[in-house]
Chains A and B, each alone.
Chain A
């Protein structure tokens, strides 16, 4: 299944989803595609002034351009998500995940999608980490692999 992860640029989440046989929907892949398909004419990540306009689908002009630009990157991930893992109070992450308003909106849209969803707390020590990994693995195992889908 295509699993949306939050924070969506997380190494740990992306790794776990892949490890347990699913496809992580990560922003890195979107940015990679953006950079490769258009040639680098709007450095550094090829987001152009047109992208925040595409973000109008999610938020009006009164919402800052940086939020709308980020939302345009999230667009395909939100559409494709079949399940999601959201980490609560995650470790701070930057760039595409660096804006709290965008993150609030993205989390809301994922919850509103009513797809299988796991919300877990970010681990601080070894014990928490065990619980964190266990919950995520159980959740991912409960999802049907892509080929089993009817």
Chain B
């Protein structure tokens, strides 16, 4: 991965944490921070601040290090320390800490404009895992005015190089005028094809484009190739893209993106990511599971969603979420006489449950819940997620182009006036 240039401003991140040193991962945190040209700082507090914090904060906890975290958050709010961003981290599976983490994030959001990322770690957390988070956090700190942008202006392009598909979008004056969507085969060639398709539909030439933004796995390669103005990780871009497309830019929102090979759950505040989980922990929670189901049912992936809508998942017994054993369960049900509709519904339900198990553990589900990415078009899936989470799930128009739209929107901030 390309390193953040040391020409960028040094970002001062306040570390509010409990347990990192005792999990043996402080070195990993420091290493990730160094790679994004930032430093950790520890807000100054004195013992009276800590003794009084529970009364002032209104949250009583048993662990002293959590009180220290709250006191440090207050020190930031009181302006005793100048920081550009805040990293709030505690041990995974600690309920007391999860409540404190979430309240500190809300408190800092309400009282300051400082970006906050919240994370829960285990001893297996590495600098690599933390890097995307630190990249998102420092970007938010460095590019605050860019991220505040709510409208696209001029003529811009966004290209999202995903693991399964590559998407391109052309926007002019806050409207989408061209789209391209191709399977990712070779990163550059697929991007060229998607971009050309979008340009053709928009009826504009490449030389007319005023600014380009790239995102997704291949963002650095594409960024260099297209001489992009903005090269940005997908957490920031997708958050922005999702609330933009759904027209819910202010306040809190939850963005769920089940990708071809990995997925993301992002807790968003005013279009800026706060807490998120990402990664391909399990193929059973990915679009690939639905692709394989469609193949087994002999239908196109585009047809699977509609099929699922008229099925009932409860008619199919699934013994596993696993992409191997779970699919086997579906095949067995078909053999035992289940209808393709029920099997399609069961597959969607299985992916939704696995999303719940694997990705939503650390995310508060605040409405509106926005589902984006290609899989959100498989109608049975948002329905299954909605049933499971007991919330209304919104799939904005053009949800499959989320990253490209976000990139085109943000890139317009680079057009010189």
Per-residue contact bits, chain A 82-111, to B (CB 8 Å; 1 contact, 0 not): 000000000011111111110000000000
Query: How far does the Cβ of A79 sit from chain B's closest Cβ, in whole Å?
Result: 19
Among residues of A, the one whose C-beta sits closest to the C-beta of B61 is A100
Q: Which residues of B contact A44 (CB under 8 A)?
A: 21, 26
Residue A52 interfacial (CB < 8 Å): yes
A side interface size, CB within 8 A: 32
Q: Are A42 and B121 in contact (CB under 8 A)?
A: no
B side interface size, CB within 8 A: 32
Residue A148 interfacial (CB < 8 Å): no
Q: Are A100 and B22 in contact (CB under 8 A)?
A: no
Q: In the bound complex, what is the Cα–Cα distance between A70 and B97 (angstroms)?
A: 16
Q: In the bound complex, what is the Cα–Cα distance between A64 and B95 (angstroms)?
A: 10
Residue B124 interfacial (CB < 8 Å): yes
Residue A53 interfacial (CB < 8 Å): yes
Q: Are B21 and A65 in contact (CB under 8 A)?
A: no
Residue B287 interfacial (CB < 8 Å): no
Q: Which residues of A contact B97 (CB under 8 A)?
A: 64
Q: Are A98 and B24 in contact (CB under 8 A)?
A: no
Chain A residues numbered 34-49 whose CB sits less than 8 Å from any CB in chain B: 41-45, 47-49
Q: Are B63 and A47 in contact (CB under 8 A)?
A: no
Q: Are A66 and B94 in contact (CB under 8 A)?
A: yes
Q: Are A67 and B63 in contact (CB under 8 A)?
A: no
Q: Are A70 and B22 in contact (CB under 8 A)?
A: yes
Query: How far does the Cβ of A51 sit from chain B's closest Cβ, in whole Å?
Result: 5
Residue A63 interfacial (CB < 8 Å): yes
Q: Are B63 and A101 in contact (CB under 8 A)?
A: yes
Q: Are B24 and A42 in contact (CB under 8 A)?
A: yes
Residue A126 interfacial (CB < 8 Å): no
Pairs across A and B, CB under 8 Å, 14 listed = A42-B27, A43-B30, A45-B21, A50-B24, A64-B94, A65-B23, A66-B19, A66-B90, A69-B23, A69-B123, A73-B22, A98-B63, A99-B18, A100-B63
On A, residues with C-beta under 8 Å from B are 41-45, 47-53, 62-70, 73, 92-101
On B, residues with C-beta under 8 Å from A are 18-27, 30, 50-51, 61-68, 90-94, 96-97, 121-124
